[in-house]
Amino acid sequence: MLIYACSETTSEVTIETEAPENPFDGVDYSTGTNEMMPPDSSTFLGLHTYIFSSSCNQPACHDGTFEPDFRTVQSAYNSLVRHPINKNYDLAIDGRNPLPYRVTPGKPDASMMWHRLTMHNPPNFEQMPSSGIALSQAKIDLIEAWILDGAKDIYGNEPMQTSHQPFSFGVLAYLNNFRIDTIRPGSPFNSFQTLDNQEMELLFGYLDYDLNGDFKFGNTLTFNKLKLSLNPFDFSNAIELDLEVLPVPILMNSVFSQPDANTFPYYQRVSFNPNDLGFSAGDLVFMRSYIQDEDHDEVTENPQADTQVALQLYFSFRIN
């Protein structure tokens, strides 16, 4: 190397490289796509999108530093609804009765979050947000309505007294190692796009809480199925596929196909060519997964027929 470096004769070699081919370069997105479908502000997904993620998920606050954890929609829900309170009222000190949970379904007055958002009781129970900028009355009304309606989860399910039912926090989709679940024209909750007569790989991520409040990521679920249907409200004759549970998960900083600061494991996997299942170009195919944990006797359906449209569309794909 030293001899070569000191020699009088050198030569330059130019290496031409090509970027990996994008299989969607020729797709026309102006037709066959869905209108933008923002989350319903009256649902928990809407509350997290429009209120909690911007007003509460702040550095050194509810960004994982302190509970409740508002970093993601699932961590927010599971650290709020029927969750024990770390810093509660003390009748002997504060003269007020302790509250049962951070959010008590159907009872705003029995919910610590409601107290912290609407009341100012220093020194230990100052009004939130800590920025000093109180939420608008319209936002307070939305939160109150959600609690009064039973504090339902993002799929519209009633919270369980025993433990939360497992639910999916997202799907990863690939064509020949090219990720496609992020290709959702118009809205991050619209259908993702795939190509006709192509083998597609899907990976699903699940979060589950046991009776002790400890969470798991789907690797211990006892029932793992996926159904595909052209009718978002009728899966009675849907095509059913087995979800393989991987021994080692795919790790991704992604929740509902959007970038996230945290890494989440995706354990459930399935591969198929939609054409082999009877689907063709132009079809909008809806997906529902069916899973079960050791705490519940019934299989959990994600999403359900009465789940808000934004999530119905998120778990769907259009064939181009």
Percentage, residues of the chain above pLDDT 90: 42
> Is 39 inside any structural domain?
no
> Is 25 inside any structural domain?
no
Q: What pairing do the DSSP bridges indicate for beta strands 244-255 and 215-216?
A: unpaired
> Is 22 inside any structural domain?
no
Q: What is the pLDDT of residues 244-262, one digit of tens each?
A: 999 999 999 999 999 988 8
The pTM is what?
0.57
Question: Across the strands, what pairs with 272?
Answer: 200
In this structure, the answer to whether residues 171 and 254 fall within a common structural domain is: yes
User: CA 81, CA 130: separation in Å to the nearest integer?
Assistant: 21
Q: Rounded to a whole number, what is the distance in angstroms from the first to the last CA of the chain?
A: 54
In this structure, the answer to whether residues 193 and 308 fall within a common structural domain is: yes
Q: What is the pLDDT of residues 192-207, one digit of tens each?
A: 999 999 999 999 999 8
* pLDDT of 307: 79
> Is 284 inside any structural domain?
yes
Using 50, 70 and 90 to split pLDDT, how confident is the model at 293?
Answer: confident
User: CA 150, CA 147: separation in Å to the nearest integer?
Assistant: 5
* Structural domain of 79: 44-148
Q: State the amino acid at position 148 in one-letter form.
A: L
Quote the number of domains for the chain: 2
Q: How far is CA 273 from CA 194, 200, 205, 235, 294, in A?
A: 10, 6, 21, 19, 32
Lowest mean pLDDT among 75-84, 91-100, 172-181: 91-100
In this structure, the answer to whether residues 98 and 187 fall within a common structural domain is: no
> Is 120 inside any structural domain?
yes
Q: Looking at per-residue confidence, does 139 or 38 come out higher?
A: 139
> Is 21 inside any structural domain?
no
Cβ neighbours, 10 Å, residue 176: 13
In this structure, the answer to whether residues 143 and 176 fall within a common structural domain is: no
Quick one: CA dihedral 27, 29, 33, 34, positive or negative?
A: positive
> Is 65 inside any structural domain?
yes
* pLDDT of 59: 66
User: CA 306, CA 175: separation in Å to the nearest integer?
Assistant: 30
Q: Determine the average pLDDT of the residues in 283-289.
A: 96
In this structure, the answer to whether residues 314 and 260 fall within a common structural domain is: yes
State which of 135-139, 149-153, 267-271 shows the largest mean pLDDT: 267-271
290-301: burial string, b at 16+ Cβ within 10 Å, e else? bbbbeebeeebb
In this structure, the answer to whether residues 236 and 301 fall within a common structural domain is: yes
Q: Looking at per-residue confidence, does 87 or 140 come out higher?
A: 140
